[in-house]
């Protein structure tokens, strides 16, 4: 009879440092940023996400930004604009 080995992978528990948010949220609600990667149907997926978030949280504004090409990273300018105009950013890919 063949010998069967059972391997139970267990990684050591890593220490976690709690990160504190550097900005305060206004009482008027979240400023939601949306980064569309310009793939087909990404806009539809993001619209569904935005509508779902609006049902669960108070949203004061939605900022939509779109990358010019899905194969290229977002520019520093685009990311800086999102950082200034939004409290949280959602991005998604679709096809």
Tens digits of residue pLDDT in 35-45: 999 888 888 99
Tens digits of residue pLDDT in 54-73: 998 899 999 999 998 888 99
Phi, psi of 63 (to 5 degrees): -110, 120
* pTM (two decimals): 0.68
Phi, psi of 86 (to 5 degrees): -135, 150
User: Which residue in 27, 29, 45 sits closest to 37, CA to CA?
Assistant: 45
DSSP 3-state of 94: coil
- What are the boundaries of each domain within the chain? 30-92
Can you list the alpha helix ranges (DSSP code H) found in 6-94? 42-56, 76-85
Rounded CA separation 91/1 (Å): 53
Q: Name the CA radius of gyration of the chain, rounded.
A: 20
Read off the pLDDT band of 23 (50, 70, 90): low
Say what the alpha-carbon torsion angle 30, 83, 91, 66 is, to the nearest 10 degrees: 110
């Amino acid at each position: 009879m063949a010998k069967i080995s059972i391997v139970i992978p267990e990684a050591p528990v890593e220490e976690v440092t709690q990160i504190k948010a550097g900005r305060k949220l206004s009482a008027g609600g979240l400023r939601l940023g949306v980064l569309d990667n310009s793939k087909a149907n990404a806009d539809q997926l993001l619209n569904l996400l935005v509508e779902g978030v609006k049902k669960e949280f108070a949203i004061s504004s939605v900022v939509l930004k779109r990358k010019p090409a899905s194969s290229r990273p977002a520019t520093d300018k685009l990311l800086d604009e999102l950082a200034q105009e939004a409290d949280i950013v959602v991005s998604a890919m679709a096809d």
